[in-house]
Amino acid sequence: MKYFVTGATGFIGSVLARKLADSGHTVHAIFRSKSKTNCIKHPNIRLFKGDILDPKSIQKAVKGCSYVFHTAAMTKIWTKNSNLYHDINVTGTKNVMEAALSAGVKKVVMTSTSGVFGPSLKGEVNENTLKKTECFTEYEKTKEEADWLALDFLKKGLEVVLVHPTRVFGPGLINESNSPTKLMKLYIKGRWPIIPGSGKSTGNYVYVDDVVNGHILAMKKGTPGEKYILGGENISFRRFFDTLKKVSQKKHLLLRMPFSIIIFFSRILKILAKIFNFYPIITPEMAKKLKQNWHVSHKKASQELKYHPISLEEGMKKTIRWLESRRNDQ
């Protein structure tokens, strides 16, 4: 099989591209910077210089491919040019879908985010939950718009399936899309001193290999027009760190920091970031999001796709072993 993978130099995309290539499939991968392709060097991966904002480069890369995984997105919590969120997440998605339709692609699996369903105000959130709050970040707002845009291509004859990962972690690029692993790394080094709020706010954490397998299962078994949450375990910040202490055998002191202080601090950082052009570690929008509970169900994916993620503890063990192996290699 020939697959076109956008975002193949990113966290989820790179793991997905390598897994497909290791399975004997041919993967077409588009890239903007040659320096970022080291993570996907493989005899079965063909590299194409281009950008999802350049329709001609997409058309060239997708040619001859039967299936498309669209994982590319603007995921940063902050950028000086806020228009990039819409450009990459919405316009970029439109370009990919149009190229796939023109090339006669059989099916597209698009990576969205579980954030578009909103926080869990009453019970678990699932694919049918009626969202009662506005999106917290520009990333979520534009991904929600991109979801509807992608599904419109069903009317044009393109089979599109949406997958919605939660908080993904594990071996791979430690970037914006892999922030839980960055948090684990900092804690192990004794450089993460706080628990947000009371520690009771919940989130859903999922191991990257499970998310990648979920993408592949969605391609094989997903019903066109359907959405599938690719989640893992629902836990509080307190339990996250308790599990991390147990697995890492590191017992560093953690202090609770009220969200009111975190939000105030993040507002100052955002102002300074605009003035001095540096990247803030948190924004007010993200701080307000973390304050909410994100209790998510992946029951639909389990039933329809046979998606079965591992536990947080098992995922942490694998991740920490990987972090330790990298430390020993350096």
Q: Give me the phi and psi of 8, to 5 degrees please.
A: -70, -15
Q: Give residue 2's pLDDT.
A: 98
Q: To which H or E segment does residue 200 belong?
A: none
pTM: 0.96
Q: Domains (ranges, CATH) in the chain?
A: 2-173+205-234+293-310 (3.40.50.720)
Report the alpha-carbon distance of residue 57 to residue 153 in Å, rounded. 20
Average pLDDT per 10 consecutive residues for the chain, totaling 330 residues? 97 98 98 93 97 98 98 95 97 98 98 97 93 94 98 97 98 93 96 96 98 98 98 98 98 96 96 94 96 97 98 98 78
Report the alpha-carbon distance of residue 256 to residue 193 in Å, rounded. 9
CB 32 within 8 Å of CB 50:
yes
Q: Among candidates 143, 135, 152, 158, which has minimal Cα distance to 112? A: 143
Report the alpha-carbon distance of residue 67 to residue 17 in Å, rounded. 13
CB 24 within 8 Å of CB 44:
yes
DSSP single-letter state for residue 117: G
Q: Give residue 122's pLDDT.
A: 85
- CA 51 to each of CA 93, 104, 112, 178: distance values in angstroms, whole numbers, following the listed order: 11, 20, 19, 22
Q: Give residue 326's pLDDT.
A: 86
Q: Give residue 330's pLDDT.
A: 45
Contacts of residues 37-45 at CB distance under 8 Å and 24 or more positions apart, as own/partner, are 37/9, 39/9, 39/14, 39/172, 39/173, 40/8, 40/9, 40/14, 42/17, 42/18, 44/20, 45/8, 45/17, 45/18, 45/21
Q: Among candidates 200, 242, 232, which has minimal Cα distance to 312? A: 232
Task: Classify strands 2-6 and 67-70 as parallel, antiparallel or unpaired.
Answer: parallel
